[in-house]
Amino acid sequence: MKNRPLPVVIVALALIVVGFVGFTYHLKDFFNHQEQVFEIILIQLLRILAIVCGILLLRAINFGRWLAIAWVLIHVLISVLNSISEMIAHIVVLIIVSALLFLPKSSFYFQDREKPQG
């Protein structure tokens, strides 16, 4: 089994923590805002998706890095509706996550595990 590069571990753990904390935090919304149940379900699905992304990254599944970038990109698009500063913050996070997941050692980690090494 390949050693996990630190940049991948950092992004994966960040996604898992953000997903878990966000999911836990938004559980209370089910009881406070019954009229917005659809939006709350979408928010919770995004939180679960973050956790799934982190797990896929730790398992060296290449789709996981694309899904992680898509997850952050969704937040960039959502933040367009809020404020410019929030959008800029999410764009910076997108750039950092993309850079970390496409470093040479990260890319090597995600190469097809079925190919013979050598």
Q: Where are the domains of the chain?
A: 6-109
Q: What is the pLDDT of residue 1?
A: 47
State the Cα–Cα distance between residues 94 and 38, nearest whole angstrom.
26
50-74 per-position pLDDT tens digit: 999 999 999 999 999 999 999 999 9
Query: In the predicted model, is pLDDT for residue 114 greater than 50?
Result: no
Return the structure tokens found at 14. 């960040």
> CA end-to-end span of the chain, whole Å?
15
> Contact 50/93 with Cβ under 8 angstroms?
no
37 pLDDT tier (thresholds 50, 70, 90): confident
Q: What is the pLDDT of residue 118?
A: 45
Provide the whole-model pTM: 0.86
Report the run of H or E that residue 75 belongs to, with start and end: helix 62-79
Q: What is the pLDDT of residue 56?
A: 97
- Number of helices and strands (H, E) in the chain? 6, 0
89-113 per-position pLDDT tens digit: 999 999 999 999 999 999 999 986 5
State the Cα–Cα distance between residues 22 and 46, nearest whole angstrom.
9
State the Cα–Cα distance between residues 73 and 77, nearest whole angstrom.
6
**Percentage of the chain exceeding pLDDT 70:** 90
